[in-house]
Amino acid sequence: MNRLNKTLTAAVLVAAGLATSAPVAWAQASAPAASLQELLDRVRQGRATDNQANQQRVSEFTRTKAAQQRLLDEAKAAVVREERLSEQLEATFQENEIRLAELEAVLDERLGAFGELFGVVRQVAGDTRGQLRQSLISSQMPGREDAIDKLAQSTELPQLAQLEKLWYTLLEEATAQGQVVRFQAPVVSVDGNEANATVVRIGPFTALSDGKFVDYLSETQRLTELARQPGALFVSAGEDTYEATSGVVAAAVDPSRGALLGLLVQTPSLQERIDQGGLVGYVIITLLILGIALALVRIVSLSLTGSKVSAQKKNSAANGNNPLGRIMQTYEKNRGMDVENLQLKLDDAILKELPALERGLSTIKVLAAISPMMGLLGTVTGMIETFQAITLFGTGDPKMMAGGISQALITTVLGLVAAIPLILLHSIASGRSKAVIEVLEEQSAGIIASHAERS
Q: Mind listing the pLDDT tens digit for each residue in 224-270?
A: 888 777 776 777 777 777 777 777 777 777 777 777 777 776 776 77
Q: Is the dihedral of CA 331, 334, 335, 340 positive or negative?
A: negative
75-125: pLDDT as tens digits: 888 999 999 999 999 999 999 999 999 988 887 776 666 667 777 888 888
Which of 173, 414, 440 lies closest to 285, judged by CA? 414
Q: How far apart are CA 322 and CA 42, in angstroms?
A: 167
188-201: pLDDT as tens digits: 887 888 888 888 88
- DSSP string over 80-133: HHHHHHHHHHHHHHHHHHHHHHHHHHHHHHHHTHHHHHHHHHHHHHHHHHHHHH
- The confidence band for 403, taking pLDDT boundaries of 50, 70 and 90, is low
Q: What is the pTM of this model?
A: 0.54
Q: Chain-wide mean pLDDT for the chain?
A: 80
Instruction: List the alpha helices (DSSP H) in 135-178.
Output: 145-153, 160-176
